[in-house]
Structure 1
Amino acid sequence: MITFYPGPSKVYPQVADYAVEAVRQGIVSLNHRSAGFMDIVKETVRLLHEKLDIPSDYHIAFVSSATECWEIVAQSLTAESSLHPYSGAFGKKWAEYAYRIKPPVSLNEADVLCIVQNETSNGTQVNMETLAQFRRDFSALIAVDAVSSMAGITLDWSLADVWFASVQKCFGLPAGLAVLVYSPAALKRAEEIGETAHYNSILFIHENFSKFQTPYTPNGLGIYLLMRVLQQVTPIADISGRTKKRAIEWYTFFEQEMKASPFTVLINDLALRSDTVIAVQGSETEVSAIKKAAQKMDIMLGNGYGDWKNTTFRIANFPAITDEEIGTLKQFLRSY
């Protein structure tokens, strides 16, 4: 089965070998306070800085998921209230979740701006130019959910203080681990707030990761697999160029070769189109039919989500997906 599901999505095929290696070498049995495990954490952090071009003064930690990062931002980095402009289902969910933890007092006095950089539900994104405008207009912290874009496209880290992503998308890994990146300004804010009431308080996390340890028994296999994948992939500039080229080709394909089909790209505004998740719309009947036909050909298309659940299908444009697999899907779509 070739999967184009936008998360969990295709893992790099080498991950199977890395997992066997981790079991046979006893890596999955390492105590998370041991020197051997701390060496793995240290190397994984170093590789993230190197391969994703993360500034050296930005800190990195590992948690369970991007949803946990929503909680960390609300608990540890929001003094009064957070502001959540959004364009889709995941941005809305983040807002609802954050407001349950930290009910908004006055949005005019919000001290954290929360942005979903790539809205997986409808194939939109906030590009770096727009994020730069947010940076100019908003004087406090900016937190960015980059779940469907981190490790897939180049990000300007300086434009936000907190970035996070689960690894089951552009990292090409199984779910169960997230990368949390935070700036010196974010750490200073956490220190000012002084929130230490939770196991995942950012001050507690930072204290442990300063020693390349974790505040709780972590997903050791996930961290090891992340290290091994980072060792194999090229720098983000190369990956990003390939991702953006493929995205242009996908949009061109639907606008030209699929012009006579019952399907069109959901997002018309070129500036808002995602580079990593292509959302395609059609009638409920046609969308259901093409997904079933694809499955018969051992191709899995992504379901729609939220308001677009029944009238769209989504195509992941993640680095682990090969050109050959994309060619197979395009041939299926042509002949459908």
Structure 2
Amino acid sequence: MLTFAAGPSKVYDVLPQYLADAYAQGILSANHRSSVFMNLYQETERLMREKLHVPEDYQLLFTSSATENWEIISQSIVESASFHIFSGSFGKKWIEFAKYILPGTDGIKIQPTQVIDVPGLEIDEKFDLIAITQNETSNASQVKMEYLEAIREKFPEKLIAVDTTSSMAGIELKFELADIWYASVQKCFGLPAGLGLLILGPKAKEQTQQKGERGRYNSLNFILENAASYQTHYTPNVLGIYLLKRVLQDIPEIQHTDQNLRERMVKLENCIAQSSSLRLLVDHELSRSTTVLGVTGPEELISRVKKEAEKEGMQLGSGYGPLKPTSFRIANFPAITDAEIDRLITFLSKY
């Protein structure tokens, strides 16, 4: 079954070879304090710089999942409180978790069809970090880089943390526009779930040291101390890191992936725009995701389209939360081939 679910999504077709190589090379038994692992960590970070254009002064850290990073950021980085800008379920979950740790946390919700009104945005001095869900998987909306740039220019004294769970490795991110970036690998990296990525800039590391939070297994100072020698604070998903390294070795530089995904998304959007019964979930082009397409329609039709797709060997991602009955989501992730996207478009053109 070919899956277009928004994550976990399709893995790269070459994954069986990566797994066989990992077994043959002894990666499955590698000790995480060994030179084998430290070299693996160092090479993976180097490849993140080469292929995704992560700046030299930003550091790659490994966690268990993207959602673990919600806790780490509030626990170890934020001094007073964070201010969240979000449009959907995952951004809402982030602010709710942050409030458990720092009750002064607050934010604003914008509609998926809106862009951030940066000139009208007011954020109190008590908030030392701005949290932004760049690509909201639940409703297929996104915050484009130009809005991040405007926020950075307006609030240069505040740290910025960005959730790119369903866009990192799919679109070109301008890492210098924020201090904290995080993701997980089961979406645009085309890998099985079970590995989170946390990327910190110099200002975020400085504030972490200043706050000095310690005492938990995932205290960021403890993570950074281990990362200084390319080790981790806990027994990590060594296989996941090895698979990430192999993917990074084989993929093109991010600007080429970015261009291809944008071209494919235009084809998908045009297909839905020409439909007599299906509509784009996000009708505002400037807030529509490049990596996840939301499609909406009458409940009976959405159910029928999903069932008929399965009969043809394709799984469409369900809508999320209250959108589940009247929408489905299509992943436009790099592991999905152009031919597979074309096959889906042919199928959807019937509606």
Instruction: State which of 270, 276, 283 in structure 1 corresponds to 2:298.
Output: 283
- Superposed CA RMSD in Å reads 1.1
* Residue number among 295, 316, 325 corresponding to 1:310 in the alignment: 325
Instruction: Report the residue type matching 2:93 in the other structure.
Output: K
Displacement of 1:106: 7.4
Letter aligned with residue 191 of structure 2: L
- For 1:101, the equivalent position in structure 2 comes to 101
SS in 1 for 2:85: coil
SS of the equivalent of 2:328 reads strand
TM-score by structure 2 length? 0.93
Q: Deviations over 1:18-45 (max 9, x none)?
A: 1121112211101100011111111111
User: What residue is the counterpart of 2:203 in the other structure?
Assistant: 185
Give the SS at the match of 1:16. helix
CA 1:244 to 1:74, structure 2 compared with 1: closer, same or farther past 3 Å? same
CA distance in 1, matches of 2:327, 2:258: 26
SS of the equivalent of 1:13 reads coil
CA distance in 1, matches of 2:145, 2:161: 14
For structure 1, which segment, 98-107 or 143-152, has the greater mean C-alpha deviation from structure 2 after superposition?
98-107
* Residue 165 of structure 1 pairs with residue 165 of structure 2: no
CA distance in 1, matches of 2:220, 2:322: 34
SS of structure 1 residue aligned to 2:263 = helix
Output the amino acid matched with 2:221: L
Task: Find the counterpart in structure 1 of residue 133 from structure 2.
Answer: 116
Q: Distance in 2 between matches of 1:65 and 1:105?
A: 22
- TM-superposition CA deviations, 1:145-182 (whole Å, max 9, x none): 00010000000111100001000000011000011111
Partners of 2:49 and 2:55 within 8 A in 1: yes
TM (norm. structure 1) is 0.97
Q: Residue 43 of structure 1 aligns to a residue in which SS?
A: helix
- Match of residue 144, structure 2, among 92, 117, 127: 127
Structure 1 position 236 matched with structure 2 position 251: no
Partner Cα distance (2:256, 2:100) in 1? 40
Give the distance between the partners of 1:333 and 1:127, measured in 2 at CA: 27
| Aligned position for 1:247 | 265
Alignment partner for residue 218 of structure 2, among 200, 210, 214? 200
CA contact 2:82–2:106 (8 Å) conserved in 1: no
SS at match of 2:86: coil
Task: Please name the residue that 2:245 is paired with.
Answer: 227
Q: Who is 1:58 aligned against? A: 58
Of residues 153, 156, 169 in structure 2, which corresponds to 1:136?
Answer: 153
Instruction: Could you tell me which runs of 5 or more consecutive residues in structure 1 were left unpaired when the two chains were aligned.
Output: none
Secondary structure, aligned partner of 2:94: helix
Task: Tell me which amino acid in the other structure corresponds to 1:132.
Answer: E
Q: Would the aligned equivalents of 2:261 and 2:332 in 1 still touch at CA under 8 Å? A: yes
Shift of 1:105: 6.4
SS where residue 315 of structure 1 aligns?
strand
Q: CA deviation at 1:13?
A: 1.1
| Distance in 1 of aligned mates of 2:261 and 2:62 | 25
Equivalent residue, structure 2, for 1:321: 336
Q: Kindly indicate whether the alpha-carbon contact (under 8 Å) linking 2:160 and 2:179 is maintained by their aligned counterparts in 1.
A: yes
Corresponding residue number in structure 2 for 1:69: 69
- Tell me, which stretches of 5 or more residues in structure 2 are unaligned? 108-123
**Partner of residue 91, structure 1:** 91
**What is the count of residue pairs matched by the alignment?**
333
Within 5 Å, give how 1:6-25 maps onto structure 2. Answer: 6-25=6-25
**Which whole-Å CA distance do the structure 2 matches of 1:264 and 1:335 have between them?**
14
**Segments of 4+ in structure 1 off by > 6 A?**
none
Structure 1 residue 197 displacement after superposition: 2.1
Residues 230-270 of structure 1, C-alpha deviations (whole Å, 9 max, x = no match): 110000011111111111221122113x2x2x210011111
**8 A contact 2:264–2:341 mirrored in 1:** no
CA distance in 1, matches of 2:81, 2:349: 49
Q: What is the one-letter code of the residue matched to 1:230?
A: L
Query: Structure 1, residues 108-158: CA drift from partner, whole Å, max 9, x if none?
Result: 311111100000111100001111111122221000000010000000111
Identical pairs, percent: 50
Letter of the 2:73 partner, please give it: V
Corresponding residue to 1:152 among 170, 193, 201: 170
Structure 1 residue aligned with 2:284? 269
